Amino acid sequence: MRKDYFREAGIFGYFLIQGRIKITQMENKQKKETSFAIYLINCAVAILLAVVAYFNGPELPVILGYFLLVPLTSLLYDYKICLFTAGVSVASYGLVIAHLIQQRAILFEPSLLFVQLGFFIGITIIIAWLAAKLQKTSRLSPVFETKDKTRQILDSLDEGAILLDRKERIILINPVAEKILAIRETKILQIKDIGQSPLPAYQNLNRVLLSGKNLESTAREEITLEKPRKMILQVTTTLIKEGGKILGALKMIRDITHEKEVDQMKSELISIVSHQLRTPLSAVKWGIKMLLDGDAGEVTAEQKDILAKGYRSNERMIHLVNDLLNVSHIEERRFQYKFVSTSLENLVESTINEFTYSLEEKKIALEFQKAEKPLPLARIDASKIHVVL
């Protein structure tokens, strides 16, 4: 009775260990090979149960039950460990049955040669498995070594980095990219189709992966993310090639949200200051021009010279303010055109008149010769052409 109790407790403990290890693997969801400790546990339990079967009694069904227990439960993992433990079971139970046959303590009389053959088959399976395991380890060690070096390089960068294979599957994600996108590499590697996930973090990652697609070499793109907070990312995609063959891609991610906000504030400041300056400068311009033209009374030559210098300085300030406004509009993509039918002669003549005082000061004679026939009206933005002239 005590033997049965210990036997059942051992079997229950074995199943408990197997189940707990499997649950841990499922929780981690890591597609790694079964650890070598699992093989050792199964091997030890198979041999232990063979010993228990030997002392439990000569009944063949009991022996076969113990024999099948470990290999069948090994299917919880994969067929490789099942074959391995089957080999261990064949070897250990072969010895048990052979010994029982010699003592004539078993209810059937199989050939001793058959039992010995089973023993050698089991040993062969174990040796073959160990050889394959060693060969695979030696073959994969350079790959793992290269991957570890790549990870060390990417982890040392101060920008986000995502490494993809040739099928656009994620291989590595460095900590900076994890922080920017609020994701974890261990969780991302488990998801087959990231675009199908409703989570904002996965949707943001999908947008990063889609940027720079269908490229031939390198591209830089800015994307705006709205959730969970507004971010502007600069994604640089570089294809990894060898011998003209695409091996994968590297995506570098920079969070340029702060830079964009600073640029926006700078543009707004320039725009506000320029508008505030342009109004008084225009008033000063027309006041000086009225004095120069004698609308407020005659002025002496000396007074006229002083007013002309002030007028030119004011004009330079107006041009500077207009240039600042144009730069601000270009940065904000608000540089619009107003195309209207315009007389080119009148546009050129008005532009020349603005430089009358400058020409007189420098003693330059500028003559505008109009064509004999009036030029046709041109559909242009007169203010922009005026700046060019």
Asked if residue 40 has pLDDT above 70, the reply is no
* CB-based burial label for 29 (10 Å; 0-12, 13-18, 19+): exposed
Rounded to 5°, the CA angle 72-75-77 comes to 145
Least confident stretch, 92-106, 274-288, 295-309, 349-363: 92-106
Q: Find out if CATH 1.10.287.130 is the number for domain 257-333.
A: yes
Q: Which range, 46-60, 100-114, 156-170, 294-308, is most confident?
A: 156-170
* CB-based burial label for 9 (10 Å; 0-12, 13-18, 19+): exposed
What does the domain layout of the chain look like in residue ranges? 2-151, 157-255, 257-333, 337-389
Q: What's the whole-number mean pLDDT along residues 92-115?
A: 53
Do 157-255 and 257-333 come out as alike in CATH topology?
A: no
Predicted pLDDT at 128: 61
Q: What's the whole-number mean pLDDT along residues 8-16?
A: 50
Q: Which residues pair with 234 in a beta bridge?
A: 222, 254
Predicted pLDDT at 247: 79
Predicted pLDDT at 205: 82
Asked if residue 74 has pLDDT above 80, the reply is no
Q: Burial code of 234-249, b = ≥16 C-beta within 10 A, e = fewer?
A: bbbbbbeeeeeeeebb
Predicted pLDDT at 301: 78
Q: Which CATH class is domain 157-255?
A: alpha beta
Rounded to 5°, the CA angle 24-29-33 comes to 85
Q: How confident is the model at residue 368 (pLDDT cuts 50, 70, 90)?
A: confident
Q: How far out from the chain centre does Cα 207 lie? A: 9
Predicted pLDDT at 261: 84
- The SS3 call for residue 284 is helix
Q: Smallest Cα–Cα separation from 73: which of 138, 16, 143?
A: 16
Q: How far is CA 226 from CA 208, 346, 362, in A?
A: 13, 51, 58
Q: Smallest Cα–Cα separation from 355: which of 305, 316, 297?
A: 316
Strands 245-255 and 231-242: antiparallel
Q: How confident is the model at residue 151 (pLDDT cuts 50, 70, 90)?
A: confident
Q: What's the whole-number mean pLDDT along residues 227-255?
A: 83
Q: What are phi and psi of 197, to 5 degrees?
A: -80, 135
Predicted pLDDT at 104: 52
CA distance linking residue 184 with residue 138, whole number of Å: 30
**Contact yes or no for 94/116 (Cβ under 8 A):** yes
DSSP string, 199-261: -HHHHHHHHHHHTT-S-SSEEEEEEEE-SSS-EEEEEEEEEEEETTEEEEEEEEEEE-HHHHH
Predicted pLDDT at 216: 60
CA distance linking residue 161 with residue 253, whole number of Å: 6
Question: Which pTM value belongs to this model?
Answer: 0.45
Predicted pLDDT at 113: 44
Least confident stretch, 74-88, 226-240, 326-340: 74-88
Asked if residue 212 has pLDDT above 80, the reply is no
- What is the tens place of the pLDDT at every residue in 334-346? 666 778 888 888 8
Predicted pLDDT at 54: 60
Asked if residue 198 has pLDDT above 60, the reply is yes
Predicted pLDDT at 206: 81
Q: Please provide the average confidence, as pLDDT, over all residues in the chain.
A: 70
The tokens of 181 are what? 């996108």
The tokens of 195 are what? 């675009």
Q: How far is CA 310 from CA 278, 302, 354, 386, in A?
A: 16, 13, 14, 22
Predicted pLDDT at 228: 74
The tokens of 263 are what? 């640029």
**Contact yes or no for 234/220 (Cβ under 8 A):** yes
**Contact yes or no for 58/105 (Cβ under 8 A):** yes
- What is the tens place of the pLDDT at every residue in 255-308? 888 888 887 787 777 777 777 777 788 888 888 888 887 777 777 878 877 787
Predicted pLDDT at 244: 76
Asked if residue 43 has pLDDT above 50, the reply is yes
225 dihedral zone (left: phi>0; alpha: psi -120 to 50; beta): beta
Predicted pLDDT at 27: 43
% residues pLDDT > 90 (the chain): 0
